[in-house]
Amino acid sequence: MRLSCGQAKKLALLDRGESLPRSQLSKQLINPLQEAGVLQLEKSGASYVIRGVPGKLARFVAQKWGIQDLIRYANTEPENRSRELMADIAGDSKALPNRPFDGIFIRPFDNCFLGDQPLKSSPPGTAILVTKGELPRLRIDCACLIAIENSECLWHFEKVLKFFPELMNKDYALVLRWHWGAAWRLWVKSWQGELLYFPDYDPAGLKIFATEVLPLHPNAELLIPRNIDRLLERLGSRELYLRQEKYLTELKSHNNLAPLCQSLKASRKALEQERLLSETDV
């Protein structure tokens, strides 16, 4: 049995001598703690509460589960976990899920730097991982940043350029939107240039733009193929649209999304951005 953060938080409270309703912990967890004498059961009205023995409970947790620092373990979050941290406080780098690639994947074109070191142009099929710790040193020396929803379109963005002639004379860098952790969201808020978002052309994709992108950068704009209506008709999926149609009602207040919402409603189809990669008819 591996302790979750939620369980560890309750055990940390008990280790301070505080009490909890017995129902707050499972029998699978209570039984070994009682057998070790680090947990006491007390009558409270018509029910029972459990109370830990300060100090002893934490030592037992360290002995049984290898968690050397119960409080630090309980307070870790996906944003601040690493294999190194888990190995240090739990003796197991895999004790809790962590993010080995916590940061952003970016495709620079001789216009990005880490400190004074240039990030050279990233050829098709590649990208550069800028880890969370290095984000403060990232500098993008171009006017436009294009955030892309799905990885295949990041690796092979050149294949969809024909749908966006307005980018021909722009100097831009590409970044994968998944996953934008707290550090990256803070970085996006500080970005002073133009932010374009290359979405999935479906209700869920527009909802992501409205809820995940615009709050960070209110002037962000959608990157929309000039022939989106024809593309929806030829390549779109009716089933995908029907599964997500409910999201359109949540987007009524976003005036800048209205034209694309109308296109989706008119065709009653939706289009994932990867479909553009193999499309030859512009």
- Contact between 153 and 160 under an 8 Å Cβ cutoff? The reply is yes
Across 33-59, average pLDDT: 89
Tell me the CATH number of domain 5-90, given options 1.10.10, 3.30.200, 1.10.760, 1.10.3680: 1.10.10
pLDDT of residue 94: 67
Give the global pTM.
0.69
pLDDT digit string, tens, across residues 163-175: 999 999 999 999 9
pLDDT digit string, tens, across residues 88-144: 887 776 677 666 567 789 999 999 999 999 999 999 999 999 988 898 999 999 999
Spatial CA neighbour of 269 closest among 203, 198, 207: 203
Q: How confident is the model at residue 242 (pLDDT cuts 50, 70, 90)?
A: very high
Chain-wide mean pLDDT for the chain?
A: 89
Across 266-282, average pLDDT: 89
Q: Is 23 helix (H, G, I), strand (E, B) or coil?
A: helix
CB atoms within 10 A of CB 268: 12
Residue 178 reports pLDDT greater than 90: no
Spatial distance between the Cα atoms of 153 and 182, rounded to a whole number of angstroms: 24
Domain segments of the chain as ranges: 5-90, 103-278
Q: Is 73 helix (H, G, I), strand (E, B) or coil?
A: helix
Kindly give, in sequence order, each residue whose CB lies less than 8 Å from that of residue 229, ignoring residues fewer than 6 positions away: 263, 266, 267
pLDDT of residue 66: 87
pLDDT of residue 98: 61
Q: What is the DSSP letter of 243?
A: H
Percentage of the chain lying above the pLDDT 70 cut:
93
Q: How confident is the model at residue 79 (pLDDT cuts 50, 70, 90)?
A: low
- Contact between 19 and 42 under an 8 Å Cβ cutoff? The reply is yes
Q: How confident is the model at residue 253 (pLDDT cuts 50, 70, 90)?
A: confident
Spatial distance between the Cα atoms of 273 and 202, rounded to a whole number of angstroms: 9
pLDDT of residue 218: 93
Beta bridge partners of 52: 39
pLDDT of residue 202: 94
Tell me the CATH number of domain 103-278, given options 1.10.730.10, 3.40.1360.10, 3.40.50.1110, 1.10.760.10: 3.40.1360.10
Would you say the CATH fold of 103-278 matches that of 5-90?
no
Spatial CA neighbour of 135 closest among 213, 84, 191: 191
